[in-house]
Chains A and B, each alone.
Chain A
Amino acid sequence: MLAATANQTIGPYWHLIEDPTWSDLTRFGAEGEKIILTGTVCDGAGSLVTDAAIEIWQSSPVASEIFPAFGRCRTDANGAFRFTTLKPGPVAGLGNAQQAPHVAISIFARGLLNALTTRLYFQNEPLNEADPVLSMIEDEARRHTLIARRDASGAWNLDIRLQGDNETVFMEI
């Protein structure tokens, strides 16, 4: 068996491949419940990370010609990212489990030799209680690092902390 190619950092100059339109997953005309996902990324000293690439992938709604289900957005000078997408619904888990609506997130940046992967869930979803991934996290404060809240503008907000207090739960898949 072969071993997968080693990861290397995306570095600070990845914007050479950036297409800012990729942050809008509805740009090809997908219709449904449009939502905004926002947040900031900060490091172990609380400094904003202003050179990261944030990628999202959704298994719901299912990808199609008009819905890529994938997006990429830079963190800007304020360490912030912002996506427009469609609200995911529940999806199947292993066995008979059902997963709460969620969005998979990958974080690439200078200083990250591998992607960091995590998930975004939505506050007040009844299925969160029984979600097979959230249920693996015993510490309630840590579980909350994955749950986006609606802000005054209606956008779903989730801040990501790479290290230290309130460090986001990252996953190995």
Chain B
Amino acid sequence: MTTDRGPFRPIVANSQPANDTPSYGSTHLRHPTQVPLRIPQSITETTGPRFTPARFGPMADLSVINGKQAQGERIIVRGRVVDENNRPVPHTMIEIWQANAAGRYDHPGDQHDAPMDPNFHGGGRVFSDADGWYQFTSIKPGAYPWRNHHNAWRPNHIHYSLFGTGFGQRVITQMYFPGDPLLALDPIFLAVPDQAARERLIAGFDIDITSPEWALGYRFDFVLRGRDATPTEQA
């Protein structure tokens, strides 16, 4: 038995990137140098915000604006949100953002010389269903250069933000695409020490999610921290 209020398990060793990752230049002046204080998990850490579709409206199709199709390769992303105990996380909000097919964000800070697409914004929001499943439609984001090092290019990726059921479960991550040659060169992806944990950030192509004459399908699952098991009550 697990409860919805119990403390979260400790973070699995090597499954998370180090804040001090010298190959990623922006970490130099932004990573704390003091060891973090390990605090006991109280109600502040074990509970968290709840979002409802009524108040935070879903936007599950990023591929079209006012009936006009965005440029690029249309994709469907589908997957499941579970916790470390392999229990589905139902009705949880997933925020999504990404570059357009040419590798340009609809953002004033993005000065990359690639075309904007008037029919693509790149922000979305979906909720998992009662069994933890989610799905949205978009276009495959393009790769783009960044100035981290000479000839640095970010692999194709989609950003995600999930809340789960407690402050300690919050995750912001990126999903990558299978077979991308830029992955082997990307300091952000490579910052995850454990190879298996790293590779779980790569979506799988899925012919069953692929929609004939319409869009390619990718499968991407999220795992949120699990709560400690509590002793089963004896009958």
Contacts and interface: CB of A to CB of B under 8 A. Distances in A.
Contacts of B43: 59, 91-92
Contact of A99 (B31, B44, B96, B189): B44
Interface of B: 8-9, 11-12, 15-19, 21, 24-34, 36-45, 47-50, 55, 82-86, 95-99, 105-107, 109-110, 121-123, 125, 159, 161, 167-168, 170-174, 188-189, 191-192, 194, 197-198, 200-201, 222-226
A102 interface: yes
Q: Would you call the interface of chain A mostly helix, strand, loop, or mixed? A: loop
A170 B159 CA distance: 24
A6 B39 contact: no
Nearest to A99: B42
Contacts of B15: 3-4, 6
Interface of A: 1-17, 28, 43-45, 47, 49, 51, 55, 57-59, 63, 68-70, 91-94, 99, 102, 104, 106, 108-117, 119, 132-133, 136-137, 142, 162-164, 167-173
A162 B26 CA distance: 12
B18 A13 contact: no
Given A63-B49, A99-B44, A3 B107 contact: no
A133 B28 CA distance: 28
A116 B110 CA distance: 25
Given A13-B159, A43-B30, A170-B36, 18 more contacts: A1-B85, A2-B223, A5-B201, A8-B173, A13-B105, A16-B97, A57-B49, A57-B167, A58-B44, A63-B49, A112-B19, A162-B32, A163-B30, A163-B31, A167-B33, A167-B34, A172-B11, A172-B37
